[in-house]
Amino acid sequence: MCDKKGGQWSLQGIAPINCEAQAGTTPLLVNDAMWGYLYFNLPNNETFSANNEISINAGNLLTAAGGGASECVGLAEMGKNAGFLGVYCGNGTWSIYSTSNTGVIIRQLAGANIIQSQSVQMVLDMNTTTLSFSIDADGNRPHTLKIPLIKPVQIAIVASHTYITGGVLIQNFTYTDHSS
């Protein structure tokens, strides 16, 4: 949809996205969605590596007056039975969650408050049984967890909002296979 190198995107809980050549992608959640997913499929139905890194730049992470509610964005890796999601919100909170294979959050594995930022670069790095999540608002200090081995069948950009309009701006998505 927005990938010029042959990758395909599918949407869940997100209205049709606006792909602007220079500005990036602005996913807007449909009215009933709490979390929206932009699932990415590699060109020619190639498989994902269990040693990979996905990253994005995200902007427009607005925070409501008082600093409570904010726009959130994340990166997800999902296997046949389970997955993981790293999320950063404009109010300065980050979390790593375990998820179902469809992206439903099961429980929080880690999280903290860091510097508030309306724009960040984030990286989710999976190396067989180690998951690292880093956010440049935290000095790119990786937050690392030991995880059970999963073979990713889906990866996704995830967006959430709590009644703030506009949607997050997503740019510079990359997927890197570290197995070669």
Domains identified in the chain and CATH numbers = 8-177 (2.60.120.560)
What is residue 90's predicted lDDT score, i.e. its pLDDT? 84
**Which secondary-structure segment (H or E) carries 144?**
strand 143-146
Asked whether 167 and 22 are in contact (CB, 8 A), the reply is no
Each residue of 13-51: pLDDT tens digit? 777 666 654 455 555 555 555 788 888 888 887 889 999
Look at the chain and count its residues: 180
Which residues sit opposite 56 in a β-bridge?
122
What is residue 102's predicted lDDT score, i.e. its pLDDT? 86
- Give the C-alpha distances (Å, rounded to integers) separating 59 from 10, 40, 41: 21, 20, 23
What is residue 135's predicted lDDT score, i.e. its pLDDT? 93
Q: Using 50, 70 and 90 to split pLDDT, how confident is the model at 165?
A: low
What is residue 21's predicted lDDT score, i.e. its pLDDT? 46
Q: Residues of 108-142 as b/e, b for ≥16 C-beta within 10 angstroms?
A: ebeeeebeebbebbbbbbbbeeebbbbbbbbeeee
What is residue 153's predicted lDDT score, i.e. its pLDDT? 92
Query: Is residue 155 scored above 60 in pLDDT?
Result: yes
Asked whether 1 and 17 are in contact (CB, 8 A), the reply is yes
What is residue 86's predicted lDDT score, i.e. its pLDDT? 95
Asked whether 2 and 19 are in contact (CB, 8 A), the reply is yes
Task: Average the pLDDT over 46-71 and give the result.
Answer: 80
Q: Using 50, 70 and 90 to split pLDDT, how confident is the model at 116?
A: confident
Could you tell me the pTM of the whole model?
0.87
Say how far apart CA 74 and CA 101 lie, in whole Å.
16
